[in-house]
Amino acid sequence: MSSISLSGWAGSLSLDFAKVVFILLVVVLTIVAAKIVDKLMVVQVRMMNRRMNVDQTSYSLLRHSSVAVVYLIGLVIVISSIPFLEKFSLALLAGAGFAGIVVGLAAQSTLGNIISGISLAVFRPFRVGDRVNVMNEYGKVADITLRHTIVRTWDNRRLIIPNSVIGNEAIINWSIEDPTVRWFVDVGISYDSDIDLARRIMLEEARKHLNVMTYMELKRYDPAVPKEEIVQVLVTELGDYAVNLRMYFWCADRKFCYLTGCELRESIKKRFDAEGVEIPFPYRTIVYKNDMASNTRLENGSCDSSPSQVIQDN
């Protein structure tokens, strides 16, 4: 009798060990399969991008969805291999209505991010590779996943924004349809300086800069652009101490604009110094309260007091 029970226990132990090995094998194979699918899709997208210059946004979402499906299949296999979990899953299916409400409430944020991610991939307000301003940050869209969007900022930070948040943000897309950007540089000159001379210097410095687009370069993007608007210098304000000039110019991409503006300010300043165009300092008249009180006493003393009283006050 004892030998029969011992053999039965040994058989159940070997069966449980075989299930544990099978489950571990499924877990390992699922992880490996997910990584392989992810790598294959990345390579495929790169090959297609070289040949046809395809949009990576939809393929990025498809890649993440495929990896999620592989993990889901592995999870289903593991659940079906464990009797307890299988019965538990059947019980959940039996109460699917209540379970759906509970899961929906618990995963409301996650589901909102997934739905927003699908919406971003379908309507494409921005794409992978676009340069955008979002949440007071400027950067390049590095990836769009099912849960979040990754923006690599100009100083090489990774800004990870949930899709439900970025989907409700006002976004400036510098790359969509036409990557060219009209930028400006403000310079103030003194009232004694020659406006025409300052304008000529600014136009010359802008036109010889390599990043400032010429009329023929810009015409390929917008044939209707007026030739006189390629580089302009306008008087924008007659300020308290300066005549403020604003120079407009075009760049081929937003990433060149800031550096181009800095270099133009430097070259314009050097030309102004060489040709006698003054960039004035702010003028301020400072009046001290004590001095005002002393002047008032002196004025009152000279008008209303005798000389002896004035001397006595001083």
Q: Over the stretch 190-222, which tens digit does the pLDDT of each residue have?
A: 999 999 999 999 999 999 999 999 988 888 888
Residue 303: predicted pLDDT: 53
Residue 41: predicted pLDDT: 72
- Of 66-75, 91-100, 153-162, which range is least confident? 91-100
Residue 212: predicted pLDDT: 94
Average pLDDT of the chain to the nearest whole number: 78
Residue 2 has pLDDT above 80, yes or no: no
Domains 131-173 and 181-275 share a fold: no
Residue 191: predicted pLDDT: 92
Residue 9: predicted pLDDT: 46
Sheet hosting strand 172-173, strand order edge to edge: 158-162, 148-153, 137-144, 131-134, 172-173
- Of 117-126, 148-157, 203-212, 253-262, which range is least confident? 117-126
51-55 mean pLDDT? 53
Residue 91: predicted pLDDT: 57
- Of 43-47, 137-141, 189-193, 279-283, which range is least confident? 43-47
Residue 291 has pLDDT above 70, yes or no: no
> What CATH class has 181-275?
alpha beta
Residue 189 has pLDDT above 50, yes or no: yes
What is the band of 4 on the pLDDT scale with cuts at 50, 70, 90? Answer: very low
Write down the domain spans for the chain: 2-94, 131-173, 181-275, 284-314
Q: Which pLDDT tens digit goes with each residue over 25-37?
A: 888 888 888 888 7
pTM beyond cutoff 0.75: no
CATH fit for domain 131-173, picks 1.10.10, 2.40.10, 3.40.50, 2.30.30: 2.30.30
Residue 307: predicted pLDDT: 46
What is the band of 170 on the pLDDT scale with cuts at 50, 70, 90? Answer: confident
